[in-house]
Chain A
Amino acid sequence: MKTFSIGSRRRQEAQIKNCRWPMADGRFKQRGFGGVILFFTLLFAANLFAADLAADFSSANELYAKGKFADAAAAYGKILQTGASSPALLFNAGNAEFKAGHLGRAIAAYRRAELLAPRDLDLRQNLKFVRNQVPGAAQAESHWPSWAGALTLDEGAVLTAVAFWLTLALFTARQLRPALGPKLKTATRVGVALTLGLGTVLGLQAANHFASATAVVTADNATARSGPFDDAQSVFTSRDGAELSVLDRRDGWVQVATSAGKSGWLPLNQAEVLPGA
């Protein structure tokens, strides 16, 4: 049990009041200082990590410039394996995969980039170009208006939340200050309309994102089978780059459907599953 003299306690209280360091045994000082060191160490490590990735990215770009597309694709893939991701990284990975002849992987990379940067014109153009290279792949007509696809899901969520908060702030203000009611009437109506509109778009976006997964075929002539096992009968084959609707998943297999209504099971090593746009 630790005891303190009155003098030492007064000194401690004075030190605390004056924001000086040692409390009883110096632990607060060490902990606070250690926290600062930890913070700056983590910051430094994060910067070093980002600098490393930037250097790897430049190296991959150099490989691409030299025409070593497969090596460049592997280099971009290595960066992606660290868990870091950016629209530019995915875009370049898509370019390298396309130039290396992997249409499916290119489309998958572009579509992942599109989730992060839906308004990137280069990205849209490249995705369209690569899709056109897929032989016999009928691109399903999208019923999704182009302006709705110009927002990421998070951007849509933030916009809707802002409109929602503003609208309810207006309603709250009208309750607190009824005299403001006539003045805020138009603004409230606009807020309600905006919230409803953005909310509807967000709902559709979320439904599309979570419920409409797509499988992009990444193997040449991938064989879809009638069941999720290797001995099952072949139902149809799909070319590299074909984009198919995902119906179900089971133990390393994914059930897909073509736009013509045929369905079958593909092993996951022959397709990459993406969330909806």
Chain B
Amino acid sequence: MRFSLKTLAALWLAAWFTGAAYAASFTVSLDRDAMTLGEQATLSLKFEGVQPPDAPGMPGIAGLQFQYIGPSSSFSFINGQTTSSTTYNYIVTAQHDGEFTIPGMRTTIGGQQLSSQPLKLVVNKTSAPSAAEVNSGNEPAFMKFVFPKTKIYVGEPVVGRLEVYLRDDVQNFSSFQLSGSPTDGFNAGKTAELQNQRRRVQVGNHVYTVIPLAVPLTAVRTGPLTLGPFTGGAVVVLPAPEQGGDPFGFFNRGEQKQVALATESFNVESLPLPVANQPANFTGVIGDFTLAATAGPTNVIVGDPITVRVQISGRGALDAVTLPSADAWRNFKIYPPTTKLEASDQFGFQGTKTFEQIISPQNSDVHELPALTFAFFNPDDGQYHTLTQAAVPLTVQAAAASPMPAVAANKNAAPENQPPQDISPVKETLGTLSPPKIPLVAQPLFLAAQSLPVLAFLAAFTWRRRLEHLANNPRLRRRRAVAQLVRDGLPDLKKFAAENRADEFFALLFRLLQEQLGERLDCPATAITENVIDEHALLRGVPNATRETLRELFQLCNQARYAPVRGTGELNLVVAKFEKTVAELQEVKT
């Protein structure tokens, strides 16, 4: 039995496609079963024989984080068997130690249900290296936590330091990630590297580079608190062991190593703010500050705006700083203030907070802007302090002496070159209520109504064209007029026949014949006699029977003048002949 080349090729393709269709599989694997907290594992999702449209989303697992790093593909052709696979890779990091289960995943691709087996990952606790281990120089990298105080006040902002030590022979340091930052009882800000503060220190027999990271912390609870241990991980590149043949190490590109980092925990005593000597206007601001205030203009009329600018500068919880109390400003209309914070450090713990407030005196009895006071607690000396800005003298004139200022004249108009300070007030009346409705342009009735003027125009246009056509064609006009005349005359003929009024019948019949023939022959109706039937060329072209009938009708009309009265039946026959003949005449082309 012999197969042709085409048959063989078709069988091969069918086998290939069949093989590809049945080879679809989905496997999930980890590059390790266990790791230390701070290290990273790689999770691979491998699809064989199918191509998912996008990287699959990972399930949420408490304590584990997945970061997609990209796909890889492979294609092989071995012994006529074709396989293709796509692998999606994810970095897995743990946020705490323990045993984690990555559940089996299911996906549907091209109508095929694919699923994977669950995986287990054990994450072991990290502990800070001992002093002996550090001094031995065996640690390529380690981490320390430094906190400047052992006693702090609740609400006091303090910047702690995480210091990452890198041994001198570390060629590269990357993928640093904190996996655990226990700061229970603190409000922790964003950890950031302190710029330009790297330094080199001697630890044991080795030199280390120290990378300082700032951890802004504010105690929110009183009592003994614990910071850390902070844990994390990073990838370092260390010189590879000597392979020989490269005595100078020119080609030593190093080897990567994951390192787990951990600090000791640090105990802090968080103290409550003292109750004794707490000023009445203290609002909970902790730090060390200065106060400056300006106001202008100071010579105004009632209702004029005065801009009060208050600047509070210093170190501490600037976020908590509010505008000093203005309880004494009863004779002023007060608009909401605007606030601007200019921090001189990256944590907002040092800088200047500026408040700008618009006020306007309500009467001319106002003579000064009341004094401003600002109270804060200084944790350095453990004392409350009150700053006072002296009252500012004002000259306020009655409004009647000059026109009303623009701000009072129109509630919508903001002072010139000044943005509005607040939103416009609420409206007092509800206004006309209406249910939500479809816009007119989407309502079929509205759209259909727009066709009415178009139809009216088209009707008028057609009518106009018809009129013009008739006006330009007198023969057509006459033909229509005669046709109408005949249509109107036929009932009369039948009527006269029914009433046996032969005289009127034949008079009308003769007239209708004249009109019809006159129109056909394009000559005056009064000029039509029986003779035209034989004389006119046009009528010579019509069938003989028609011409005979015409002649008969004319003769009947002539005989009626002297012949006896005919009966109704005979007249009806004449009407039928007339109708038939006129119809035939109207068909004649002129």
The reply to whether A85 and B433 contact each other, CB–CB distance below 8 Å, is: yes
A37 at the interface (CB under 8 A from B): no
With both chains docked as a complex, state the minimum distance between the C-beta of A45 and any C-beta of chain B, in angstroms.
14
Task: Known contacts A95-B425, A178-B464, A231-B60; decide if A89 and B430 are in contact (CB<8 Å).
Answer: yes
Contacts of B441 in A (CB 8 A): 153, 157, 202, 206
Contacts of B58 in A (CB 8 A): 231
Cα of A36 to Cα of B461 in the assembled complex, Å: 46
From A88, A98, A171, B427 is in contact (CB under 8 Å) with A88
Contacts of B427 in A (CB 8 A): 88, 91-92, 122
Contact residues, B54-92 vs A (CB, 8 A): 54, 57-60, 68
Q: Among the listed stretches B42-50, B235-243, B446-454, which one makes contact with chain A, having 4 or more residues with CB under 8 Å of it? A: B446-454
The reply to whether A85 and B412 contact each other, CB–CB distance below 8 Å, is: no
B110 at the interface (CB under 8 A from A): no
Contacts of A149 in B (CB 8 A): none
Nearest chain B residue, comparing its CB with the CB of A61: B426
Contacts of A95 in B (CB 8 A): 423-426
Tell me the total A-B contact number using a CB cutoff of 8 A. 112
The reply to whether B433 and A86 contact each other, CB–CB distance below 8 Å, is: yes
Task: Known contacts A61-B426, A88-B427, A91-B426; decide if A164 and B463 are in contact (CB<8 Å).
Answer: no
Cα of A228 to Cα of B282 in the assembled complex, Å: 49
A165 at the interface (CB under 8 A from B): yes
Nearest chain B residue, comparing its CB with the CB of A133: B423
Cα of A99 to Cα of B434 in the assembled complex, Å: 26
Contacts of A178 in B (CB 8 A): 464
B245 at the interface (CB under 8 A from A): no
Contacts of B420 in A (CB 8 A): 125, 129
Please encode chain A, from 106 to 145, with 1 for each CB lying within 8 Å of some chain B CB and 0 for all others: 0000000000100001100110011010000000000000
A169 at the interface (CB under 8 A from B): yes
Q: Among the listed stretches A1-9, A11-19, A49-57, A215-223, which one makes contact with chain B, having 4 or more residues with CB under 8 Å of it? A: A49-57
With both chains docked as a complex, state the minimum distance between the C-beta of B534 and any C-beta of chain A, in angstroms.
47
B543 at the interface (CB under 8 A from A): no
The reply to whether B453 and A86 contact each other, CB–CB distance below 8 Å, is: no
Q: For chain A, which range describes its interface: under 10, 10 to 19, 20 to 34, or 35 or more residues?
A: 35 or more
- Pairs A–B under 8 Å by Cβ, sample size 28: A50-B433, A53-B433, A61-B426, A83-B436, A85-B434, A85-B435, A86-B433, A88-B431, A91-B426, A92-B427, A95-B426, A96-B426, A116-B434, A125-B423, A125-B424, A130-B423, A153-B440, A154-B440, A161-B446, A168-B453, A169-B453, A171-B457, A172-B453, A175-B457, A175-B461, A210-B442, A233-B57, A233-B68
Contacts of B449 in A (CB 8 A): 161
The reply to whether B453 and A175 contact each other, CB–CB distance below 8 Å, is: no
Contact residues, A189-247 vs B (CB, 8 A): 202, 206, 209-210, 226-227, 229-233
Contact residues, B398-443 vs A (CB, 8 A): 412, 419-420, 422-436, 439-442
With both chains docked as a complex, state the minimum distance between the C-beta of A167 and any C-beta of chain B, in angstroms.
8
B460 at the interface (CB under 8 A from A): yes
B456 at the interface (CB under 8 A from A): yes
The reply to whether A84 and B440 contact each other, CB–CB distance below 8 Å, is: no
A180 at the interface (CB under 8 A from B): no
The reply to whether B426 and A172 contact each other, CB–CB distance below 8 Å, is: no
A42 at the interface (CB under 8 A from B): no
8 more CB-based (< 8 A) A-B contacts, given A92-B427, A157-B440: A88-B427, A88-B431, A121-B412, A125-B420, A164-B450, A168-B457, A172-B457, A202-B441
A158 at the interface (CB under 8 A from B): yes
A267 at the interface (CB under 8 A from B): no
With both chains docked as a complex, state the minimum distance between the C-beta of A111 and any C-beta of chain B, in angstroms.
14
Contacts of A130 in B (CB 8 A): 423
Cα of A267 to Cα of B172 in the assembled complex, Å: 42
The reply to whether B430 and A122 contact each other, CB–CB distance below 8 Å, is: no
Contacts of A232 in B (CB 8 A): 57
Nearest chain A residue, comparing its CB with the CB of B435: A83
Contacts of B446 in A (CB 8 A): 157, 161
